[in-house]
Structure 1
Amino acid sequence: MRRSERKQLDPDLGVLTGRLLFAVQDELFDTLARQGHPDLRPQHGAVLAYLDTEGSRATELARHSGQHKQVVGKLIDELETLGYVQRRPDPADRRAKLVVPTALGRDQMTRSDAILAAMDHRHAEAAGAASYTEFKRLLRQITRRQRAWREDEPTGD
């Protein structure tokens, strides 16, 4: 059996999560575009998905999203140009900057939350509420373990 056939019949964790991620992003960003946010791209989610309404530091956004600081900085620049965020001095540390959503950014955040809640509701109805809750619990657990894989590697000491 060819590898591509095997991946279709019995997809591994990477293929399954990739398919899920791209399908969620497609629906989310297509819906956002129809609701007045046509310039956003899935890459912007590395910032927007983790941005607090009160503002977040770029280093926090990079840590939460798993992206390099340089990538997050470029995305922040793009979102600032598009009018979704602005940089402000952090009141807790004037040397640091906070990335703060603008009114346009807050509108996008509210709409994204509603779109994702509708997806959750739709999948919970299809799978059953208890099964969907268990699926999300297991997915969170697997994600935590996978993100921590480097910590579990033997050090060779």
Structure 2
Amino acid sequence: MKPRLTLGLLLLTLSATSWAQSSALPEWDKLSPQQREVLIAPVRDRWNDAPPPQRERMLQHGQRWQSMTPEQRELARRGRHRFENMSPEQREQARALFAQMRSMSPAQRDELRERWAKMSPEQRQEWLKANPAKDLPPTPKR
């Protein structure tokens, strides 16, 4: 799993698995201490191995996850699955577009999406060279 996953994202992954959705498994409060430890141990290990800036990101991601509505969480799940199924080239494009769009207004984002859709593969490569995703770390391979 990615080292920068938060507890919220770990729980997201677990909730997406069929065994976690089974009615035979209890709510968190009904889990035994051993079951809770199995779920928490990987997050604790990633936290302990992470440098302070990564820990800060992990904490912010967990806090953001807790503040999301169920609908927002579902959209995040779909986005994560879509990203995981992309080729490395598509992921790099998505990272670059995301980094660029972070500082744009909604109207500017819409305009960039429209321009991107009309670009040829060569034009997209040129755009990526001019707008690399410098501020986002690459996604580690699983």
Structure 2 length-normalised TM: 0.22
Q: Structure 1 or 2: larger helix share?
A: 2
The TM-score, its normalising length taken from structure 1, stands at 0.21
More strand by share: 1
Higher relative contact order (CA 8 A, sep 6+): 2
